[in-house]
Structures are given as structure tokens and as C-alpha cells.
Amino acid sequence: MPTMQKILELQQQLIPDLVEVMKARYLILEQVRQSDLIGRRALAASLSMTERVLRAEIDFLKTQGLVDIQPAGMQISETGRKLLIEMEPIAKAWFGFNELEERIRKFFGLKQVWIVPGDSDSSPHARRELGRAGCQALLKYMGSDDVVAVTGGSTLAHMANQLTSQASLKGAWFVPARGGLGESLDYQANTIASTMAKRTGAQYRLLHVPDHLSEEAYVSLMQEKNVQEIVKVIRNARIVIHGIGDAVVMARRRMVDESVISAMLEEGALAEAFGYYFDRKGSVVHRMHTAGLRLEEIQTAEVVIAVAGGRSKGEAIAAVMQFGHDDVLVTDEAAALEIVSGIEGKIG
């Protein structure tokens, strides 16, 4: 049976015009989907196409029931949305994402890598796609009775707001992997865990403690029966899903003392994930006192999923992957290219 790549190569040889037409129509549909509602002129500009050529393509897509035309612009139809999902494996092969995914997967020894188009640093559409892909990854590995520990952050918030499940998850639990950072409520682990649970019919527990604790506060809190109870649930999570941040940015969000930040930087801190700070080689150079997940639970969790993107995070993502306890990486094109550039530097 020929592979997907081989089929595409044969198509390219025999009917190259057909492949180019398919690519063009896919890109039009994808841009319409990402834009929610867009006019023909704006769509032509974003795709670098003439309005005359685009008009003919839009007329065809409308005839096929793939887009809906309204006075304010055009939207993708539900049929068009389903078609894009079905075409995703083909599109990844067209645009070289399969090769990128495989290079990153093999280098870091991961089970799977998902790459979405674009750069989350500059594109809200790419951020939304990253969240959608994170949902796909979670649902692929999640069972109906699992405990899932989630961290905070804007990327996981995008993911939480898109999470839905056709199967019943009423026996599953979502729990926060860590305490609160004192930042926007929407981005806190408690909020994200409860949103994911409500959108899937699952259950949830909350952890009402700060993320950054002194040693004395940590010891005191861990003597509280209610805290012990929820922490036991969190530390037995089968699945951990987390974001990845810049070490300095995350330390300042946690209001870490500047002298500690300076010491961390001297030790080479580059990335942060689940409250741990990593250098370029993936070694932990600093850890926080927390009532949430500890390194030993992350290392023994059955599935650890990282969801992070943006060119600016490429090095940080690679550092956390070097740590070696993630199973799945969901990222975007810009971050993936940065990661592969670093890989080539190491191999070279």
C-alpha cells in the first residue's frame, strides 16, 4: 500500500495542475476558517491573489457548500470545517510538516509531535489553532476515568475554551497542577481545570493556594487536611498537560526576588514549565516550593503533553524537551523551525 507521501509524489508527477488547485483551495478555506468572517478584498490581500482569480474560486467553494456568503463577508460552513479536518494529514505532507514533526519527534524521543501553521507570537489564529490541536492531543490519550492535571497560561486557556468531547467523560477529573499566580483569573490553572471539566461533562477539584510559597508556608499548608486531600489527587494524575514559558518572564510573574532571578540566569535558566526552571541542556537549575505537582509525579505520569508555540519560545521548548519526560509536543510552525534550527546546530 503506497504511503501518503508516495501518493502525493505520484499525483505531482501525473497531474501537477490538480495538486496546485487543491493546495490553493485548501489555503483559501483555511484562511476563511481562521478569519471567522472576512471580505473578498481582505482575503485576496492575505493570500496574495487577485480578486478576479479569487472570485472564481470562491464561487466554486460556495457551489460545493464549503463557504457561506453573507453581506458582511464570507464564513466557512460546517461542511467546509469537516473537510479541512479530514484534509489535515494531506496538508501536512504538502507543506512539509510531516518531516518537521518526525525530525523533532526522533531527536527528543517523543511519542508524537503536532505542528500547526503560523506563529503564535503574532497571529491570534495560530494561537487558536494551537489550542485546537492541544484538544486533539488530549482527547487522543485521555480515557473516561482519567485524572488530568493542567497548568495555567494563555495557551492552555485557548485550549480549554475549545475542548469538547463526543464521548462521556463524567468519570474523569480535571485538577490544577499548581496553585495560583495572582495573574488574570482566565489564565489560572484552577480556571482552566474547571472550564475543561464543564465543557466535557467531567468533574474537577480546585487548589486554593498561591503557587509561590516560602518553605515555612509550604510546610504549614501541607498539614491542612483539605489541602492534603486535593494534593493527593493531583499527584496521582495519569495525564499532565502544560505550557512552556521564558524563565525570566515566568519568574517575574511569580514575583521571584531579582537576586534569585540573577542567580538563576547565572546557572543558565532558559525555560520554565510546571514551576521548574531548565537550562539549555534540559537540566533543572531552580525549583519552587509548591503544593502541586512535583518532579517525581511528572516523571511517573503516563502521558505528559506540552502545548506551546511562537518563534520566541523555540529555544525554551527545546530546553524542556531535552529534560526528557514529555511524551507529546503540540507546537506551531515558527517554533518548530526554531527547534529544528537548534537541532541542526547540535548535529552539525
Contact (CB, 8 A) for 293 and 178: yes
Per-residue pLDDT, 347: 52
Per-residue pLDDT, 307: 97
Per-residue pLDDT, 24: 87
Contact (CB, 8 A) for 131 and 158: yes
Helix pair 97-108, 314-323: axis angle to 10 deg:
40
User: What are the grid coordinates assigned to 340, written together?
Assistant: 529544528
In sequence order, the β-bridge partners of residue 303 are: 239
Q: E strands of 143-185, at which residues? A: 147-150, 173-176
User: What are the grid coordinates assigned to 55, written together?
Assistant: 472570485
Contact (CB, 8 A) for 52 and 44: no
Q: How far apart are the first and last CA of the chain?
A: 36
In sequence order, the β-bridge partners of residue 284 are: 278
pLDDT, mean of each 10-residue run, the chain (348 residues): 64 73 88 85 87 92 93 92 86 82 95 91 85 94 93 92 87 87 74 95 85 63 75 90 92 83 92 90 84 81 96 95 93 95 70
Contact (CB, 8 A) for 269 and 278: yes
Q: Which of 195, 185, 182, 85 is nearest to 133 (CA)?
A: 85
Q: What are the angstrom distances between the C-alpha of 258 and each of 264, 296, 307?
A: 10, 28, 28
Give the amino acid at 117. P
Contact (CB, 8 A) for 148 and 172: yes
Contact (CB, 8 A) for 18 and 50: no
User: What are the grid coordinates assigned to 64, written together?
Assistant: 460545493
Contact (CB, 8 A) for 279 and 287: no
Per-residue pLDDT, 166: 81
User: What are the grid coordinates assigned to 342, written together?
Assistant: 537548534
